Amino acid sequence: MSANDPREQLAAHRQANVMLSRVAASLYWMSRYLERAENIARLLDVNLQISVDFDRSDEQFLEEHWLPVLRSSGSEAQFFEAYKTADSTTVPEFLTFTAGDGCSIRACVAAARENARQVRDQISFEMWEVLNDAWLFLKDAAPESIRGANAPGFYEQIKRFSHLFQGLTDSTFSRNEGYEFIQFGKFLERADKTSRLLDIKYHILLPTVNDVGGAVDTLQWQAVLRSTSALESYRRFYVQEIVPWKVAEFLLMSDSFPRSVRYCVEQCDHFMHRIADLPAGDYRTPGERRFGRFVQNLRFAAIEEIMNSGLHEYLTGVQAELEAVGSLVYESFMYHPPVDMAAEIRLHQQEQQQQEYRRV
């Protein structure tokens, strides 16, 4: 075949696009999985703290406390295939070491490392080294590592690996499209997990759904804020007692705290525009316009209206919008379906014939 053969040209073009999309997808999932591991560690750590504070072992309490955590991970059915009861021993063990498909800390770190391995030449040595260290730490760990007084230090180490990776990414990774996919994945995962954590905690810590907005033990809501490293920022912002609706407002609507839903969504919006090479505020496709409306609604939402209409329902809607924008970016830039090469060649030949006809 000659260099001008349309089949060679199309094959080369297709191969280049597929390679770029695969690199983008690996960087995106590398970032998401590591952020997910950190957030699972936060969730388990704060739940263990609450269990110690309550110091209760009755079946009803354990079910109300740990089942929502399993449901948030989407692995409840898988859990009960291996365990009979959900408690402060079985659930942390399962979500730290056992669950597959990116539902446990170990599975998430393994997936992040595997995605990094596939694009090893695209990331810095320092980034790879942190992921490898995290994997070796988890590979050698045993369930005893998260029992009793060992648990806080173990989960703190997982968070340190994630923070170190993020810092090294900012310090050693070029500001190109790959960086944009890493950041988009991180903030999308963080927004989703903050919304799920708030949803779970709000209903666990209140005696009944009808008590939403009532008096709740301050120590428990401090634990919620600690799980997102938000306690100090919350106190600087409100300088008052910790109450449920203010915690919800801060974790949902703060425009400056880096783990709030609004902040993360606005970062997703920024990096989505960078990836799509669009000016800020420009939304062209139906999917982009849907996300644009979501961003604006989040900016102008009022916590009173949210609480009156139902916090759980609002957070469910937030998670649906985050899933939609994740699918939009993935399908637009990271997924290439199988192509009928013969049909593409015919289309390419037709276009060439039309161009030659116009020149004549």
pLDDT of residue 300: 95
Say yes or no: 72 and 156 in one domain. yes
Say yes or no: 122 and 258 in one domain. no
What residues contact residue 357 under an 8 Å CB cut-off, 6+ apart?
none
pLDDT of residue 14: 43
Whether residue 349 lies inside any domain: the answer is no
Mean pLDDT by 10 residues, the chain (360 residues): 50 49 94 96 87 65 76 86 90 90 91 96 97 96 92 96 98 95 97 90 58 54 86 90 89 96 98 94 95 97 93 94 96 68 53 60
| Burial zone of 357 (CB within 10 Å; 0-12 exposed, 13-18 middle, 19+ buried) | exposed
Say yes or no: 257 and 222 in one domain. yes
Whether residue 4 lies inside any domain: the answer is no
Say yes or no: 148 and 227 in one domain. no
pLDDT of residue 293: 97
From 142, 173, 204, the end of a domain falls on 173
Say yes or no: 252 and 152 in one domain. no
pLDDT of residue 336: 58
Say yes or no: 153 and 22 in one domain. yes
Say yes or no: 142 and 191 in one domain. no
Whether residue 353 lies inside any domain: the answer is no
From 149, 173, 197, the end of a domain falls on 173
* Cα separation, 92 vs 239, whole angstroms: 34
Whether residue 351 lies inside any domain: the answer is no
* Cα separation, 272 vs 199, whole angstroms: 26
Could you give the 3-state DSSP secondary structure of residue 121? coil
Say yes or no: 303 and 286 in one domain. yes
Residue keyed to tokens 């980034």:
127
Say yes or no: 163 and 244 in one domain. no
Cβ atoms of 162 and 35 within 8 Å: the answer is: yes
Could you give the 3-state DSSP secondary structure of residue 104? coil
* Cα separation, 130 vs 93, whole angstroms: 23
Q: Give the 3-state secondary structure of 288-357.
A: HHHHHHHHHHHHHCCHHHHHHHCHHHHHHHHHHHHHHHHHHHHHHHHCCCCCCHHHHHHHHHHHHHHHHH
Which residue, 229, 188, 205, is CA-closest to 68?
Answer: 205
Whether residue 2 lies inside any domain: the answer is no
Say yes or no: 237 and 294 in one domain. yes
Say yes or no: 237 and 133 in one domain. no
What residues contact residue 88 under an 8 Å CB cut-off, 6+ apart?
47, 48, 51, 62, 66
| Alpha helices, H only, the chain | 6-54, 59-73, 76-82, 90-93, 105-118, 125-139, 150-172, 177-205, 218-227, 231-238, 244-253, 261-276, 286-300, 303-309, 311-329, 341-359
Whether residue 7 lies inside any domain: the answer is no
| Burial zone of 90 (CB within 10 Å; 0-12 exposed, 13-18 middle, 19+ buried) | buried
Overall domain count for the chain: 2
Whether residue 3 lies inside any domain: the answer is no
Say yes or no: 119 and 230 in one domain. no
pLDDT of residue 340: 46
pLDDT of residue 239: 81
Whether residue 347 lies inside any domain: the answer is no
* Cα separation, 275 vs 339, whole angstroms: 23
Could you give the 3-state DSSP secondary structure of residue 238? helix
Q: What is the DSSP letter of 120?
A: T
| Full residue range of the structural domain in which residue 315 is found | 175-338
* Cα separation, 171 vs 125, whole angstroms: 12
